[in-house]
Structure 1
Amino acid sequence: MPFHGADLKQISAVEMALLGSFYCVLTLQAALSLAMVHAQDDQSGFISIDCGIAEGSNYTDKKTGINYVSDAGFIESGKNQEILSTYKSNTLDFQLRSLRSFPENSRNCYTLRPKQGKGNRYLIRARFMYGNYDFKGQPPQFDLYLGNDHWSRIHFNVSLEMDYEIIHLTSSDYIHVCLVSIGLGKPFISALEIRLLDSTMYANQLQSLVLFERTNFGTSETLRYADDKYDRIWNPIALSGITNVQTSRPVSIGPSTKEQVPSKVMSTAIFPTNTKNDLLYTWKATSESEEFFMYIYFAEIETVKSNESREFMIYLNGVNWGGPISPVDHTTTTYFTSFFNSSSYELTIGRTQNSTLPPMYNAIELYNAIRLQQRQTEDQDATVMWSIKSTYGIKRNWQGDPCVPNGSVWDGVSCSYNDTYNLRIISMNLSFSGLSGEIAPALANLTMIQSLDLSYNNLTGSVPNFLASLDFLRILNLTGNSFKRPLPSKLLEKAKQGSLALRLGPHLKKCCPKGSCKKNKNKKVVIIVIATVATLFVLSTILVVLWIAKRRQTQDPSIELRKQCFTYSEVQRITDSFNNVIGKGGFGTVFYGLIGDTRVAVKMLSESSAQRYKEFQAEVSLLMSVHHKNITSLVGYCDEGKHKGIIYEYMANGNLGMHLFDESPNVLSWKKRLQIAYDAAQGLEYMHHGCQPPIVHRDVKCTNILLKKNLQAKLADFGLSRAFTTEGDTHVSTIIAGTPGYLDPDYFTTNRLTEKSDVYSFGVVLLELTTGRPAISTDIYIIRWVKSMIEKGSVEDIIDPRIQGEFETNIAWKVVDIAMACVDSSSVERPTMNDVVMDLKKCLKAE
């Protein structure tokens, strides 16, 4: 904001009472009276974070004496960086030399919890210094949010530091400062600071105040802590046509000043060198609706003789705004006002006719007033979520507020948005999250929870009684853990009454000698993990009957396992005597069937395919232990004499190949293709990185990607799959297996099977999805064809022409890049499925 110095501007004195600002101050202050903790000189009200320094680091700043810590304890995403040495001047604050950048995620949040808690007013300051850390010479632009509320748009040049401040009355114990990408470069931050203010400071309003300018006149020195115990930064300004004055005596706080302006700030002031002139201060608003709050601080710091007087008026855009004002000797007086409805402003301080001395002032603060919604998760629920994250070491992208904004709700969490104020968590799905130990007591405080899924973890100990005391809990899934018996009687009673759907998991069953399966009600409920294929099929000893409960986004809720082992006569009834054929292959025939009202697909191994019995065993074994939303679910199997069959959930839309190539009448849209690719990639990622030991599919291709009615994709056909059975294995030596066109050349030449073999096959599938061409057609290999088209430089010639240009060019290029990286001839150069999933997720979001 420019200061135009002391212009020659003579005005007449107008007798006018000071506006009723102080009355407003007192009224609003009474309405906001809260028991608050005063900020102390010992930094007890400070949180000072140096972003980008090593985890666990801390230091005391030599300039200010402020104690800074690493930001590693406040955020999990981002990358530590340093500005270039060219910009590390001796005058640059130490905490601006490092930064944390955020190349991943569109929204990254710091979460802070001041020990003084909610109901307090804080100064929150985010600091930025670009310093060409990324060698691009082009500073990014991005948005700064306070929780779910927009704070400011961040933009700056290469060499200047920028500070963004907001004064905020909190309604929650948690403060979330979020950096949000707007597609104009990667967000970053250099430092983050929170300062507890006194309860009386800036208490004349209900809005939050975004700092526009804080200026200390009459000095060339920047002042902050410890001169200001609240660590406000008071910047000097160089002016012409004015005279600086200062005093060595302390300046006290007057009764009208609640803002605790430091004595050192008030000990300097300015007045026009030509004592007949006025002081002029101008600035521009971004819009006429932008509301300003202005605090002007006066103190007489010169010796005024008995025959002298200093008296002046305040004008805004030529309108008499207040006065006459006479500064009090070495005592601070505050003039406060608010205004809007102009695109530019001119503040004039003019002497009255009775004044023998020129006008003067010591400091000014200008703020933009904004009203924030402050929609946040109820503190009690938020505390539980942070406790759960810490207790179990959950490695999800859990950042910021659990419930807001809607687009960034924590993975696995659902919230109630009916309340007009704080939000409540009503559902939590922690299935397949690697939890171990006992059920955390903190869950007792999720008093509004309706559904809790803890299935398929490594939880042990007793099921706690408090679960029966959660009044709104309607669904509780404890499947796939190792809890002690007995269960709490109150919990079982609620389940018996029907007020709680209690899911406990698979039951131990035996198989009769002739293969018919009967329940044994005297056996305890257990899960038998079959370690090897041989053990699995010693059916005279063990029969596993598994009830599949609702898993985190892994099962179609319509699929319920009646039993895992089926007799041949039962399979005949399910398939209506094998009357409805829906597929054929080298393994045998696939039939449509019904178990009750549930549709299934039954794959029967033909008697002439005895050599495939090992694949049959392998697939059943794998599907017994692997559960994921993008992997076809096992309903059961039959292994009775020469009759071998596998029963799957029914996939109404068949396989991907049926929809993709020229003979298909229905053309898949570009977005749907991306979603199918993303679905299939997630299934492979789970096999590679979510299973212990990791599993290689070994035959990824379009016909082994099945589609549900809504076109959700699931991997299928695991007869060739292999697991790395020894911890630390990086490959398996095996006989070549797979499908021409999808087969990894590294695997083909070395017999060394790795996860990257699946990545190669997936890359071919991704090219098929992109181009609409099969892997091999008329002796033209799809990879060679795409390479030749890339050289021509037009992605439009690569994408399936049936899409008719309904795609975004940059996203299309990115998808082609992902696919070509996957099919790199060197397996070492290929990405992992983790990388592929992240890249496809970004493409899908962008689309």
Structure 2
Amino acid sequence: MFSKTYLHNFSISLIHLDRERKMSLGFLVPLLLSLAALVFVHGQLQTGYISIDCGSPENFNYIDYDTGISYASDGAYIDTGINKNISSKYAYPNNPNLALPLSDLRSFPYGNKNCYTLAPTGGRKGSLYLIRASFLYGNYDGEDKLPEFDLYLDVNLWSVVKFRNASNVVTTEIISAAVSDTVSVCLVNKGLGTPFISALELRPLNSSVYSTEFGSTASLVLFKRLDIGYVNGTGRYSSDDIYDRIWSPYNSASWDMVSTSSAINSNENGYKAPLQVICTAAMPHNASDPLELSWTSDEDTSKFYVYMYFAEVQQLEKNQTRKFNISWNGSLMFGPLAPRYLYAATISNSEAFIGKEHRISIYRTRDATLPPILNAIEIYMAKQLEELPTFSEDADAVLDIKRTYQVNKSWVGDPCGPKNYSWEGLKCNYSVSLPPRIISVNLTSRGLSGMISASFGNLSSMESLDLSKNHLTGPVPEFLKELKFLKFLNLEGNRLSGYVPTELVVRARAGLLNLRVDEQNRCGSGSCKNKKKIVVPVVASVLSALVLSVALIMLYRLRRKRKSEADSSNGEGRPLPSKKRKFTYAEVLNITKNFQDVIGKGGFGTVYRGDMKDGTQVAVKILSPSSTQGSKEFKTEAELLMRVHHGNLVSFIGYCDDGSNMALIYEYMANGNLKDYLSYRSSNSLSWEMRLRIAIDAAQGLEYLHHGCKPPIIHRDVKTANILLSENMDAKIADFGLSRDFPSDDQSHVDFPSDGQSHVETTVMGTRGYLDPEYYSSRRLNEKSDVYSFGVVLLELITGQHAIIRKDESMHIIQWVSPLIERGDIGSIVDQRLHGEFDVNSVWKALDVAMASTTPSSVHRAAMSSVLTELKQCLDMELSHNRERTQGFSEEIYVGSYNSTEMSSISTVTEPITIPFAR
């Protein structure tokens, strides 16, 4: 049997051979390294890992016996760069502790942006990952000049990579949610030396951990990760840490270390610190002293999130108590806390610590006999995601173009990002709040062959397209005329057949398009080759096309009229009323300034902001040709909005029914929808009073539909995304495309059961999470279906959770909140962003209303009018509470700073604790 040292030294010696010898021994190295792993590695490797030894020879895969992690060469992840080995001065055996992946690297002397594309197994948009990049310069280029370059995750800056000396190993970690099913890690050359990278690792995370108030609008860059009270650890416990974090051992001369050899239960703790980390802790020498950690950041606006790990590692006597509070910069943040024996818990701040100087103090309470402890701590700096990825349809289009024509290898990462580092040959238009759009594609003299890809037609904002001097064949495509913003088109120097679409020739003659095509592609008449005579055939073509278009339009409208009349006769549809509110498509284009400002998207298509002639801002909903919501639903919404008028329903301004172009125009709601406002991405925070007012507004709108309209109307799609907020935060119900009159005019479809409730049988429509389960199973619709959906909305307002909560597995909000209600755990139920500032009785009453509204049987749900009355009482209670508070009364409230899982793991030791809230 080989000795551990021999195998280690032998494998590292092989790693440091030049590339040729490394390649020649490639069959032997994996064998020996695998043998070492089988003998010495404990624990199974985790699934979902991506571990890349950057710069290693192609197909050179091995298992690092120290960690048990399997590393692969990077050829499958990147097409650019040059493989290099570090100088022997910094390699083994001169550096015996050097990690295997750091012995070589990949350098990028060419191109400003070079990117690795990672495709995690089962990865999708929103998946949470820990990504680690490592760099060792080691004078690999013989120039002994330390480079500096930027590291990006997708389109946003991750870190500036710089070195103290040639032997300095720089490692940086980031936790981020994926913006698509792949992840791009990009190195950007900013003129201060050639970028390179030694190792790149990706680890999937449980989506319930490391959450912040920013959600998907920020990433977390590791600042410090400390294994408190331990100084001899390796720092990496791959067989025990499912996230493969690297922990830095840390202790202080003023602290005592305590530990246990017993197993610690972390089943209730999604952060799952490894046993070697959580089984040790530190406490101050003097029991009355606080246990303190401090750090300084570079900027006053830096934002930090801290994750503190606690587990009691000593079996306490009956007369001993360990209880403590936690403060940040002198302000109480958490506590009192009493760690449970051999059970792990993690405490984190739900809102960022902002500033330059930071001090965490953990100090015992007056009734405690033992000093405070801390087992481990992670400190992350929030990195705001200031740039957006390229508009998805544009990105998909150019990726397809890349695949079709095998465009050069420099097309990597995001097409437009980071800003000013777009793909060669592309130009992008950048906006503060909207994704970048591709406006120019220049692929002249690129050796393109085959037909012009239809994907060019999907670049709907393109202003310039140059495909000249290639080997393109086939017809000049008709879809080019659909590019409304096209100002320059060059197809010269190809072998295209057919003629340029007439519309493009007309735009060129009008000076709206710079059109460059070969002579044979200009038009079908031989006289076209004489440029002086080109006007006659062009005008003739235009007139012919115009006559044909008019005829087709008249025929189309006649058929639509007949169909509409037929629909009206059988009760399946009605023509749109009130022509005085009708707009032409040209007017819609003018109102929206050619659809410049996108403010929303849905199954129907896209919503744009617009301006009327009098300056009134409006929202314009355009029906997409590929919409999942058909013209019938569009007409239903327009027709309904014509006849309903209420302060809590969006005001209808008009509609467009111009050929195949259909649009609805209604009042603009400056604060968007409630779903976005409640999300953790939002920088805004709603007080409990404001949440009640929004609920009351929405309830009033629904109560009007149910009881103020004749016949009554059932909305059928009540959800937070369909509750819009005005500039003054007035809430209004929107989106009536699925709404139905109730009872129906066709009484043959209406039943009146013994419970007194009438219902109508209909196709099930609505949104997952908000859909009444009784309606879903029976297809019998009544007004109580809206009551159920509203009850879910009310739960979202109370808890800050989504209707469908996605953690380890999807869970409905009712399933999530029910056990907490049974335990009376109001602190874990209420949205943590309220910071305990609410009247507890008001919240409990609102919870009762929400749960009564969401009972499985509709007969047990209250009518909307009763729900409205109850909510107004909730508001009265909250207003009374606020008046008492402003008059100087002090009260006790629940500390609500724990995540629900963390609260449950601690509350088994201590009763729910109330303390005066510091205001």
Q: Structure 2 CA distance, aligned partners of 1:288 and 1:218?
A: 30
Cα shift at 1:438:
3.7
Structure 1 380/123 Cα, relative in aligned 2: closer, same or farther at 3 Å?
farther
Q: Structure 2 CA distance, aligned partners of 1:145 and 1:326?
A: 41
Cα shift at 1:299:
0.9
Cα shift at 1:280:
2.9
Give the TM-score, by structure 2 length: 0.46
| Residue from 96, 101, 106 that aligns with 2:107 | 101
- Bigger Rg over Cα: 1
Quote the residue 2:97 is aligned against: 91
Cα shift at 1:435:
1.3
Q: Structure 2 CA distance, aligned partners of 1:419 and 1:312?
A: 45
Q: Structure 2 CA distance, aligned partners of 1:469 and 1:44?
A: 47
Gaps in structure 1 of 5+ consecutive residues:
1-39, 510-518, 526-544, 548-847
Query: Which string of whole-angstrom CA distances, capped at 9 and with x for unpartnered residues, describes residues 353-398 of structure 1?
Result: 4323332111101011231213221233223323433442323643
Q: Structure 2 CA distance, aligned partners of 1:58 and 1:367?
A: 32
Paired amino acid for 1:194: L
Structure 1 121/434 Cα, relative in aligned 2: closer, same or farther at 3 Å?
same
Alignment of 1:445-844 (within 5 A): 445-461=458-474, 467=480, 476-483=489-496, 485=497, 492-495=501-504, 498=507, 503-507=516-520
Quote the residue 2:150 is aligned against: 143
Contact 1:507-1:546 at 8 Å conserved across structures:
no
Q: Does the alignment pair 1:326 with 2:349?
A: no
Quote the residue 2:675 is aligned against: none
Structure 1 449/75 Cα, relative in aligned 2: closer, same or farther at 3 Å?
same
Quote the residue 1:433 is aligned against: 446
Query: Which string of whole-angstrom CA distances, capped at 9 and with x for unpartnered residues, describes residues 610-664 of structure 1?
Result: xxxxxxxxxxxxxxxxxxxxxxxxxxxxxxxxxxxxxxxxxxxxxxxxxxxxxxx
Query: Which string of whole-angstrom CA distances, capped at 9 and with x for unpartnered residues, describes residues 575-622 of structure 1?
Result: xxxxxxxxxxxxxxxxxxxxxxxxxxxxxxxxxxxxxxxxxxxxxxxx
Quote the residue 1:363 is aligned against: 376
Q: Structure 2 CA distance, aligned partners of 1:76 and 1:136?
A: 25
Identity over aligned pairs, percent: 41
Cα shift at 1:546:
13
Contact 1:215-1:236 at 8 Å conserved across structures:
yes
Paired amino acid for 1:377: T
Gaps in structure 2 of 5+ consecutive residues:
1-42, 533-919
Q: Structure 2 CA distance, aligned partners of 1:475 and 1:156?
A: 47
Contact 2:112-2:421 at 8 Å conserved across structures:
no
SS at match of 1:408: coil
Alignment of 1:171-250 (within 5 A): 171-173=179-181, 175-206=183-214, 207-219=218-230, 220-250=233-263
SS at match of 2:277: helix
Contact 2:445-2:469 at 8 Å conserved across structures:
yes
Q: Does the alignment pair 1:120 with 2:112?
A: no
Contact 1:310-1:327 at 8 Å conserved across structures:
yes
Contact 1:506-1:546 at 8 Å conserved across structures:
no
Query: Which string of whole-angstrom CA distances, capped at 9 and with x for unpartnered residues, describes residues 277-302 of structure 1?
Result: 54332322223332221111101122
Cα shift at 1:432:
0.8
Q: Structure 2 CA distance, aligned partners of 1:133 and 1:448?
A: 45
Q: Structure 2 CA distance, aligned partners of 1:419 and 1:310?
A: 51
Q: Does the alignment pair 1:268 with 2:280?
A: yes
Quote the residue 2:37 is aligned against: none
Paired amino acid for 1:323: G
Matched positions, count? 475
SS at match of 1:265: helix
Cα shift at 1:350:
2.6
Contact 1:142-1:153 at 8 Å conserved across structures:
yes
Cα shift at 1:403:
1.8
Contact 2:324-2:362 at 8 Å conserved across structures:
yes
Structure 1 302/422 Cα, relative in aligned 2: closer, same or farther at 3 Å?
same
Q: Structure 2 CA distance, aligned partners of 1:319 and 1:520?
A: 80
SS at match of 2:249: coil
Cα shift at 1:474:
6.2
SS at match of 1:331: coil
SS at match of 1:386: helix
SS at match of 1:383: helix
Quote the residue 1:351 is aligned against: 364
Structure 1 165/322 Cα, relative in aligned 2: closer, same or farther at 3 Å?
same
Structure 1 396/93 Cα, relative in aligned 2: closer, same or farther at 3 Å?
closer
Query: Which string of whole-angstrom CA distances, capped at 9 and with x for unpartnered residues, describes residues 803-847 of structure 1?
Result: xxxxxxxxxxxxxxxxxxxxxxxxxxxxxxxxxxxxxxxxxxxxx
Q: Does the alignment pair 1:69 with 2:72?
A: yes
Quote the residue 1:281 is aligned against: 293
Contact 1:51-1:192 at 8 Å conserved across structures:
yes
Q: Structure 2 CA distance, aligned partners of 1:441 and 1:64?
A: 49
Contact 1:147-1:374 at 8 Å conserved across structures:
no
Cα shift at 1:334:
2.0
Structure 1 397/221 Cα, relative in aligned 2: closer, same or farther at 3 Å?
closer
Structure 1 445/137 Cα, relative in aligned 2: closer, same or farther at 3 Å?
same
Quote the residue 1:14 is aligned against: none
Paired amino acid for 1:223: R
Q: Does the alignment pair 1:374 with 2:387?
A: yes
Q: Structure 1 CA distance, aligned partners of 2:210 and 2:446?
A: 46
Quote the residue 2:49 is aligned against: 46
Q: Structure 1 CA distance, aligned partners of 2:531 and 2:199?
A: 53
Q: Structure 2 CA distance, aligned partners of 1:341 and 1:492?
A: 59
- The CA RMSD measured in Å over matched residues stands at 3.8
Paired amino acid for 1:149: N
SS at match of 1:205: coil
Q: Structure 1 CA distance, aligned partners of 2:505 and 2:520?
A: 18
Cα shift at 1:223:
2.5
SS at match of 2:341: coil
SS at match of 1:369: strand
| Residue from 405, 408, 425 that aligns with 1:392 | 405
Structure 1 134/317 Cα, relative in aligned 2: closer, same or farther at 3 Å?
same
Paired amino acid for 1:180: V
Contact 2:219-2:382 at 8 Å conserved across structures:
yes
Structure 1 59/386 Cα, relative in aligned 2: closer, same or farther at 3 Å?
farther
SS at match of 2:248: coil
Cα shift at 1:309:
1.7
Give the TM-score, by structure 1 length: 0.50
Quote the residue 1:295 is aligned against: 307
Q: Does the alignment pair 1:401 with 2:414?
A: yes
Q: Structure 2 CA distance, aligned partners of 1:110 and 1:304?
A: 52
Structure 1 521/275 Cα, relative in aligned 2: closer, same or farther at 3 Å?
closer
Contact 1:120-1:169 at 8 Å conserved across structures:
yes
Structure 1 342/432 Cα, relative in aligned 2: closer, same or farther at 3 Å?
closer
